[in-house]
Amino acid sequence: MPQLRLALAQVNPCVGDLSGNTDLVLEWTRRAVQGGAHVVLLPEMVLTGYPVEDLALRRSFAAASRQALDALAGRLAEAGCGDACVVVGYLDHDDQGARNCAAVLQDGVVQARYTKHHLPNYGVFDEFRYFAAGDDLPVLRVHGLDLGIVICEDIWQDHGPVAAYGEAGVDLLLCLNGSPYERSKDDTRGALVARRAAEAGAAIAYVNLVGGQDELVFDGDSMVVNAAGDVLARAPQFSEHLLLVDVDLAAGGERAQAVPGWQLQRVTLSPEPLPAWEPQQAPVVAALSEPAEVWGALVTGLRDYVHKNHFASVVLGLSGGIDSAVVAALAVDALGPDAVHGVSLPSSYSSEHSRSDADDLAKRTGLHYRVEPIAPLVDAFVQQLHLTGLAEENVQARCRGVTLMGLSNAEGHLVLATGNKSELAVGYSTIYGDAVGGFAPIKDVPKTMVWELARWRNAAAAERGETPPIPDASITKEPSAELRPGQLDSDSLPDYAVLDEILARYVEGDASFAEMVADGFDPELVEDVVRKVDRAEYKRRQYPPGTKIGVKAFGRDRRLPLTNSWRERAPEQQT
């Protein structure tokens, strides 16, 4: 029974940092080889970072990627890793255009290459714009076993390279991935890998990126399954990790010499089977609860956006409300309290409990805290411009925005916007006011989930014997922007539980007016919510980026024209 030790290096590269990413690959490969690995698998486009978007169209960048790959092969050999079979994702370019590729490195050179066959073009993906597809099918002979290579979307498609490798009769498939996080995606992903393994009649080693890249978060969740679909090992989510797995597979002998429709290439890397040894048991990390998983995604997205863009600290307005409290707690978890600066910005309408709740949160978390009253600024605008009504309300939010941006310019902090998905959907925010900032950590989090996350985070702290970071009053009190005396969100919005159900259907499910009414929602309420969502598109275009956690986030996932006369209406009103 030939045996092989696999190393799945679940790492966090940075887009465009070819030098840093090369060092990252070298360091994790060195660790893998020290652990006895014969095959080291790294994620999709790890050398360039992923997704590279329009960088893929720059020939200079693709050429630099190929140069980095060639240099990496030599450096691996110099570092004593030349005997290992190292599979690395990178960007290549030929006469047909850019290529999303995986290279096999051994003995200081590139031994084989696989080009991604299926190019996703939905949701956040736009790979038809960038890449040419391949039809190559390298089969690697390593210690008596035949190994195939696939890249991410290839494994999601029926009748693709997985099926072709099954026809060729490989023993093990190596799958490189840049699979972004969505809520509960780990369940879908695990079931898919198990199903494909059974279809191919081969074990699958699935390695995924980890870390944040702009609005996307990669959660890792790398795994190895056997040909029956049983999980042999699984890595944690949201952390870099080296997963060492011993596989014990029966070699199938000579394989098919050709697979119709594919360019089959046989590469012998290590012809002799390894002597048998007692395999080690690899860990299967338990799945996180949904709140823990979402919190981990939000912390990862915020941390990496700040660090990869070289900010040292963040600043945000602390209103005493639930949204700013959750964002502050996320920031402290992501960056540490010394890198987080909270500012209370009371106006003449701010309640005493808002100020005290903000102060309480600062003491609980240990972040830097100051109070900057905005009443004199508001008065100056109101008196100069003779503002009343909505204009007076909005100038309060804009004075807060100007204050935060001023502190950002003076002290170098990144401003965090604290709005949630529900408010953003219906336009319940002020452009150049509470919408200002460089990053919006809970932009894709519905209001009801904001409360759920706050309760979970406090409970998790209590279980560890720590001080819960979020004041109970911030969780339990009625939400309000406090822009006029006695104002509540419920004055202009339905109950958030109802609102979020409608938004889930309309924004994420693209449901029609008739379908939402058929689901039992009041027609007038549906019409009001839909109108608010449609009219707020221009605001969302000007909102900062924020971490995606759902199936359809505003921005990359959902793109509608600003000038748009179409409205969802009752069928009898539609023309």
Catalytic-role residue among 14, 44, 175, 421: 44
Question: 167: part of which helix (H) or strand (E)?
Answer: helix 161-168
- Nearest by Cα to 262 from 192, 356, 164, 338: 164
pLDDT one-digit tens code per residue, 474-511: 999 887 665 566 666 666 788 999 999 999 999 999 99
Distance CA 84, CA 99 (A): 25
Where do the domains of the chain lie, and which CATH numbers do they carry?
3-287 (3.60.110.10), 291-573 (3.40.50.620)
Query: For residue 557, what is the DSSP state?
Result: T
Catalytic-role residue among 81, 152, 175, 399: 152
Catalytic-role residue among 14, 81, 85, 116: 116
Distance CA 328, CA 312 (A): 16
Cα distances (angstroms) measured from residue 466 to each of 269, 365, 457: 53, 10, 11
**Do 250 and 226 meet the contact criterion of CB atoms below 8 Å apart?**
no
* Residue that is written with structure tokens 């797995």 in the block: 245
pLDDT computed for residue 354 by the predictor: 80
Question: Per DSSP, what are the bridge partners of residue 267?
Answer: 140
- Report the SS3 class of residue 368: strand
pLDDT computed for residue 487 by the predictor: 60
The pTM (predicted TM-score) of the whole model is 0.94
pLDDT computed for residue 568 by the predictor: 82
**Is 515 a catalytic site residue?**
no
**Mean pLDDT, rounded, for 135-139:** 91
Helix extents (H) in 309-435: 322-335, 352-365, 375-385, 389-411, 421-426
**Do 183 and 290 meet the contact criterion of CB atoms below 8 Å apart?**
yes
pLDDT computed for residue 254 by the predictor: 57
- Report the SS3 class of residue 212: strand
**Is 44 a catalytic site residue?**
yes
pLDDT one-digit tens code per residue, 201-231: 999 999 999 999 999 999 999 999 999 999 9
Strand-by-strand arrangement of the 414-415 sheet = 368-371, 340-344, 314-317, 414-415
Distance CA 202, CA 293 (A): 30
Question: Angle, to 10 degrees, between the axis of helix 322-335 and the axis of helix 290-308?
Answer: 70
- Nearest by Cα to 102 from 118, 125, 120, 86: 86
pLDDT band at 255 (very low <50, low <70, confident <90, very high): low
Omega of the bond leading into 236 within 30 degrees of 0 (cis): no
Lowest mean pLDDT among 184-198, 250-264, 406-420: 250-264
